[in-house]
Structure 1
Amino acid sequence: MTSRVLLAALALFLTSSLEAAQLVRIGAAHFPPYTVRPENGADTGLLPQLVEALNRSQADYQFVLVPTSIPRRFNDFKQGRVDMAIFENPDWGWQDVPHTAVDMGLEDAEIFVTQRQPDRQQSYFADLRGKRLALFSGYHYAFAEFNPDPKFLIGQYNATLTYSHDSNLQMVVRGRADIALVTRSYLSDYLLRNPEVGPQLLVSERIDQIYHHYALIRPQAPISADVFQQLLQKLRDNGQMLEIFQPYRIELVPPHAH
């Protein structure tokens, strides 16, 4: 009898502990190296690492990833399928979507890459007209005034749109595109995986845009912006943010003052 009572008490304790941790659903769209093909169920990329660190650091919230896509993420957010979008920027089409932004204090950059040739210098990147561009479909690029419309990019910039940075870089290496745009973090990871490609590429000093990353939280989310900011600060203070992002040349910077 006593053991049964103990088991019942233990079950009750475990249930209440699980209930105490509020579920926070984070949208995971393919955005390498931050999130890599989340629909395949593989926990690869920086977002799963961050979520793991957030879950280890406290017991009040259980952060889980919900696969979405670059175009679909707005509706998933508006309809409440996800509570939060991470590694975002309020300017990337979120203007009419109610949210609270949390500055993550992380910066990456979008850079131009071309095939290294004897006569090719940094000036090659100054004018994009007449050059074949390899771009990631759905991304908002500063040079194109953040307009991600495929017809516009193909018509105005002779763009090839893909869902793979690897493909875009290979197009440049093989001479099928003149310039690819990639995030600095992705290029850093790609060259670690493909060291033989490095000498074949000329990387721009020109930056298309600085990615200053935000977490966007839905008004009805179970976690507030202030609490999430505190959790990120905890990871910053104990060195885990640096450990996760430094290998990808993503800089930890002071969050912008609001």
Structure 2
Amino acid sequence: MAMFSAAIMLAAAPVFANETEITVGVYHFPPIASVDDNGEPTGLLGDLLQELEQANPTVSFRVFHTSPKRRYLDFEAGLYDVIFFESPGWGWTKRNVDISRPILADEELYVALKKPGRDDSFFDDLEQRSIVAISGYHYGFTGYETDNSVLEQKFNIEFSDSHSRNIKLIKADRPSVAEVAIVSHSYLQRHLTRHPEDWDELLVSKKPDQRYQLSIIARKGGTASADEMLRLLAPLVDNGRYRHLVENWGLQLPAGFLTGFEAP
């Protein structure tokens, strides 16, 4: 009985014994994460940080607003401690980082305007299409290259900072500007829920540009390790709150996540 009680006390012990502030890097990546006009995180990340603070009273989070292209420089400069929902293959594996197991899954799809005779083969040769994409994002069709000047040499590509703008460009039917946009599945589903008329306007690829599993990236030797972040998340996994938040934003957990989750 004494051993059982000790195990319960260990499981309930706070991850950080003292008050700890963790700075989280955030860039515009809807619906997974973004920052509003007041500097507050929104999307899945905004909800998750609130829940993490409630479940872990010794921890608070401060948001550092970065950008898709600047996030690596800001991390190297020590301006934030961790960043949620990143694929290790998006430029992180060669850096001095600590990477958690995957905690989220999504995919990106090609989107074009529906026209008579146009089908999924329209996306077969993107080098022949005018493309609109988000600057700093990693895409499968580019080989995950993010240097705009390199991409402009190979593709007829325009860069923006918004899925919403990219979809509007597609609907404007200006082939010289944008014939194909790349949009995340989760964002597209939320867009179509709000604008059901676009079901008849947009052609969506059957094959994704990429599928990705997203992790927490932490600085080695920093304020919080990847394992410590997973231990902060564990109560929300155990009580079902994390799954609820993920599904509420139209996102998915990695296959086997719930059955295989064990806090480090």
Partner in structure 2 of residue 131 of structure 1: 129
Partner in structure 2 of residue 247 of structure 1: 248
Amino acid at match of 1:247: N
Name which of 42, 45, 52 aligns with 1:44. Answer: 42
2:84–2:215: 8 Å Cα contact kept in structure 1?
A: yes
Partner in structure 2 of residue 171 of structure 1: 169
**Aligned pairs for 1:55-134 within 5 A:** 55-134=53-132
> By how many angstroms is 1:74 displaced?
1.2
3-state SS in 2 of match to 1:143? helix
> By how many angstroms is 1:221 displaced?
2.1
Amino acid at match of 1:20: N
**Aligned pairs for 1:215-234 within 5 A:** 215-234=216-235
Change (3 A) 1:39 1:69: farther
Query: Alignment length, in residue pairs?
Result: 240
2:44–2:249: 8 Å Cα contact kept in structure 1?
A: no
2:43–2:249: 8 Å Cα contact kept in structure 1?
A: no
1: distance between equivalents of 2:152 and 2:38? 29
Partner in structure 2 of residue 194 of structure 1: 195
TM-score for both structures, normalised by structure 1: 0.86
1:125–1:206: 8 Å Cα contact kept in structure 2?
A: no
1:28–1:66: 8 Å Cα contact kept in structure 2?
A: yes
Moved more, 68-77 or 176-185: 68-77
Name which of 153, 159, 162 aligns with 2:160. Answer: 162
> By how many angstroms is 1:56 displaced?
1.0
1: distance between equivalents of 2:42 and 2:93? 29
**Aligned pairs for 1:9-24 within 5 A:** 20-24=18-22
3-state SS in 2 of match to 1:192? helix
Stretches of structure 2 that go unaligned for 5 or more consecutive residues are 1-16
2: distance between equivalents of 1:111 and 1:234? 33
> By how many angstroms is 1:89 displaced?
1.5
Find the structure with the greater CA-based Rg. 1
What percent identity do the matched residue pairs reach? 33
2: distance between equivalents of 1:205 and 1:138? 24
Change (3 A) 1:119 1:107: same
3-state SS in 2 of match to 1:210? strand
2: distance between equivalents of 1:144 and 1:39? 32
TM-score for both structures, normalised by structure 2: 0.84
> By how many angstroms is 1:205 displaced?
0.9
3-state SS in 2 of match to 1:129? helix
> By how many angstroms is 1:239 displaced?
1.4
Partner in structure 1 of residue 8 of structure 2: none
Stretches of structure 1 that go unaligned for 5 or more consecutive residues are 1-18
Name which of 35, 47, 54 aligns with 2:52. Answer: 54
2: distance between equivalents of 1:84 and 1:105? 14
Moved more, 26-35 or 107-116: 26-35
Name which of 22, 25, 28 aligns with 2:23. Answer: 25
Per-residue CA deviations over 1:191-236 (Å, capped at 9, x if unaligned) read 2232222220111111111121011011132222222112223212
Partner in structure 2 of residue 15 of structure 1: none
1:39–1:67: 8 Å Cα contact kept in structure 2?
A: no
1: distance between equivalents of 2:113 and 2:159? 18
1:38–1:67: 8 Å Cα contact kept in structure 2?
A: no
Amino acid at match of 2:148: P
